Amino acid sequence: MARLAAEMARYGHDREAPVREVMARLGDRWTTLVLIVLAMGEWRHADLRRALVRLSSEQAISQRVLTLKLRNLERDGFVLRTATDHVPPRVSYSLTPLGRELAAQARHLIDWVNAQSEAIRIARAGFDAREGD
């Protein structure tokens, strides 16, 4: 307990602490998928949105929600937004080195969950059977 308390004191445990906000983002509906897709390269907003819709089992992501997700990732240093001087301006998004590192960590966690999916299903079935009695 003391080690955990010291770690929380060192890195922060307030609402705005990076550990809390980044973990919350990774657990939301879209951010992890955005990171994984951006790990494939640079994307324009509309192309990224179409890719997310094709890959996700969720409803279509709105332009507004995607923009908010990208802005939060940009604010945290994970995404680079590049705009050209052309008319109309061309805006694209890519991962920063920090973002590539985060996407790789998220990918490792996803791979672990996928490898453990049968054990998770068995645990759920056991729990549900006990709760149904």
pLDDT (tens digit per residue) in 5-46: 888 788 777 788 888 899 999 999 999 999 999 999 999 999
Alpha-carbon torsion angle 16, 18, 21, 25, nearest 10: 160
Mean pLDDT of the chain: 92
pLDDT (tens digit per residue) in 56-86: 988 789 999 999 999 999 999 999 999 988 8
In the chain, % of residues over pLDDT 90: 74
Report the alpha-carbon angle 7-16-109, nearest 5: 65
The pLDDT assigned to 9 comes to: 81
For residue 75, give the nearest of 30, 38, 21 by alpha carbon. 21
The pLDDT assigned to 39 comes to: 98
Q: pTM to 2 decimals?
A: 0.86
The pLDDT assigned to 38 comes to: 98
Preceding amide of 88 cis, omega within 30: yes
The pLDDT assigned to 133 comes to: 58
The pLDDT assigned to 84 comes to: 87
